Amino acid sequence: MIIASISENKNLEKRIAITPEIAKKYISSGFEVYITKDYGKHLGFFDDDFKILGVKVLDSDEKVISSTDILVQLELPSEDKLDKLKEGQILIGVLDPISNKERLNKLIQNKVKNFSLELLPRITRAQSMDILSSQANLAGYKAVIESFANFEKAIPMMMTAAGTVPAAKVLIVGAGVAGLQAIATAKRMGAIVFATDVRMASKEQVESLGGKFLTVEGSENLETEGGYAKEASDDFKKKQEELLAETLKKIDIVVCTALIPGKKAPVIIKDKMLDNMQPGSVIYDLAAIQGGNTAATKVDEIIEKNGVKIMGERNILNKLPTSASNLFAKNVFNFVLNLYDKKNNKININLEDEIIEKSLVK
């Protein structure tokens, strides 16, 4: 059984799906591992690091694709490479079935089995495979670091003979995995941290990290069975806007993390709210690629509006590619082991297994 990965488009994606550490685990589990030449060179993982473990390094993506049983990637490969996949092969990655519906349907017609890891169910058994959590955790941390780097004042309170520098006030919008890590990071660096989320279950988590949870009076619990946020009612949105508008007047840094799976990101911070923020404030919008949580967010640009900097990147994890690759590769390895029937050396697509059934693109 051969598992392989080809190079991503490094202008868009610097993470890799198989690290040397994980290649060793695949080989110990009975797999052969193939990669393309210079696959991990940009991260300091050289071909010899893989070869010494028994990995086969081929000189083209096409040779890797034609040889493998399972291809693991971050994003969906380009059209010309997808055309090389054939009946019986398996593709595993972050395939974005909504945006890539037509391309994935073509693969399905060619009897390629496609597993998209962002579709994994939020169940205990799938936690070790949960790419959304592992990657969001790093994204929340890095968003705080990036926003602090662009804030032109000190973060912690400092008492000096010349006077006192007040601690920065930080607001985290959305207290999921990314938001909770952002709270923890900001708090460790000495900021005063506030957070808001439509899911009432987040209140206890926020407070356990030292943040203050901002609650809309008479709020409803807007949480799906899968643990994600769902769309709020118009009445809730109005109350939330009023609370945010007042809060933002005294906030220095905002980190936005609010997303609804499969939909455009909700616009939470409106133009009139931005107008009332203090000049010099910074907003980092992790939802930028899905439209943004602010009305002014633009992907990969720093927008300045009334002295407020608004920033958001297509892929913030490109700034932490080694850490992100290590975690992603482990998630994928655990997913593959769940598919693999070692005794018979074959893949068992058991649709009675919720993990397999939910992640299979149909």
Q: HEC string of the chain?
A: CEEEECCCCCCCCCCCCCCHHHHHHHHHCCCEEEEECCCCHHHCCCHHHHHCCCCEEECCHHHHHHHCCEEECCCCCCHHHHCCCCCCCEEEECCCCCCCHHHHHHHHHCCCEEEEHHHCCCCHHHHHHCHHHHHHHHHHHHHHHHHHHCCCCCCCCEEECCEEECCCEEEEECCCHHHHHHHHHHHHCCCEEEEECCCCCHHHHHHHCCCEECCCCCCCCCECCCCCECCCCHHHHHHHHHHHHHHHCCCCEEEECCCCCCCCCCCCECHHHHHCCCCCCEEEECCHHHCCCECCCCCCEEEEECCEEEEECCCHHHHCHHHHHHHHHHHHHHHHHHHEECCCCEECCCCCCHHHHHHECC
Whether 2-119+321-359 and 136-318 share one fold: the answer is yes
Does residue 307 surpass a pLDDT of 60? yes
What residues have CB less than 8 Å from 333, skipping those under 6 apart?
A: 22, 25, 26
Residue 72's pLDDT is what? 98
Choose, from 5, 7, 73, 133, the residue flagged as catalytic: 133
Catalytic pick from 28, 127, 208, 233?
127
Neighbours of 69 (CB within 10 A): 15
pLDDT over threshold 70, residue 232: no
User: What pLDDT, on a 0 to 100 scale, did the predictor assign at position 226?
Assistant: 52
Residue listed under structure tokens 């499969």? 262
Find tokens 């907003």 and name the residue: 283
Mean local confidence (pLDDT), 293-309: 94
Q: What angle do CA 229, 135, 74 make, to 5 degrees?
A: 110
Q: Is the pLDDT assigned to residue 154 strictly greater than 60?
A: yes
Q: State mean pLDDT over 134-138.
A: 97
Please compute the mean of the pLDDT values over residues 72-81 and round it to a whole number: 94
Which of 69, 228, 323, 353 does the annotation list as catalytic?
228
Mean pLDDT of the chain: 92
Q: What is the pLDDT of residue 233?
A: 67
Q: Rounded to whole angstroms, how far apart are CA atoms 97 and 92?
A: 12
Choices 3.40.50.720, 3.40.50.300, 3.40.630.40, 1.10.10.60: CATH for 136-318: 3.40.50.720
Percent of the chain with pLDDT over 70: 95
Q: Is the torsion defined by CA of 110, 115, 121, 123 positive or negative? A: positive
Q: Is 73 a catalytic residue?
A: no
Residue 78 has pLDDT above 70, yes or no: yes
Q: How far apart, in whole angstroms, are the C-alpha atoms of residue 103 and residue 110?
A: 11
pLDDT of residue 135 exceeding 80: yes
The number of angstroms, rounded, from the C-alpha of 318 to the middle of its chain's C-alpha atoms is: 11
The token duo for 65 is 């694709």
Q: Express each pLDDT in 170-209 by its tens digit.
A: 999 999 999 999 999 999 999 999 999 888 889 999 999 9
Backbone φ, ψ for residue 314 (5° rounding): -60, -40
**What is the Cα–Cα distance from 261 to 287, expressed in whole angstroms?**
11
Domain ranges of the chain: 2-119+321-359, 136-318
Instruction: Give 108-122 pLDDT, tens digit per residue.
Output: 999 999 999 999 998
Q: Is there a contact between 148 and 253 (Cβ–Cβ < 8 Å)?
A: yes
Cα(236)–Cα(198) distance, integer angstroms: 9
Taking a C-beta distance cutoff of 8 angstroms, is the pair 333, 22 a contact?
yes
pLDDT(300) > 90: yes
Given the residues 7, 73, 130, 359, select the one marked as catalytic. Answer: 130
Say what the pTM is. Answer: 0.90
User: Which pLDDT value is given to residue 227?
Assistant: 52
| Token pair for 66 | 């034609």
> In this structure, which amino acid lies at residue 48?
D
130 catalytic, yes or no? Answer: yes
Instruction: Name the pLDDT band for 260 (thresholds 50, 70, 90).
Output: confident
In the residue annotation, 133 being an active-site residue is answered as yes
List, in order, residues 6 or more apart from 204 with CB less than 8 Å away: none
* Annotated catalytic residue within 122, 278, 323, 353: 122
Residue 15 annotated in active site: no
Least Cα distance to 323 among 114, 181, 151 occurs for 181
Residue 240: pLDDT band (50, 70, 90) is: confident
Please give the Cα distance from 14 to 7 (Å, whole number). 9
Position 70 pLDDT exceeds 90: yes
Active site residue 340: no
CATH number attached to the domain at 2-119+321-359: 3.40.50.720
Write the pLDDT tens digit of every residue in 213-229: 998 765 555 555 555 55
In the structure encoding, which two tokens stand for residue 21, read together? 């550490």
Amino acid type, 13: E
Query: Residue 234: is its pLDDT beyond 80?
Result: no
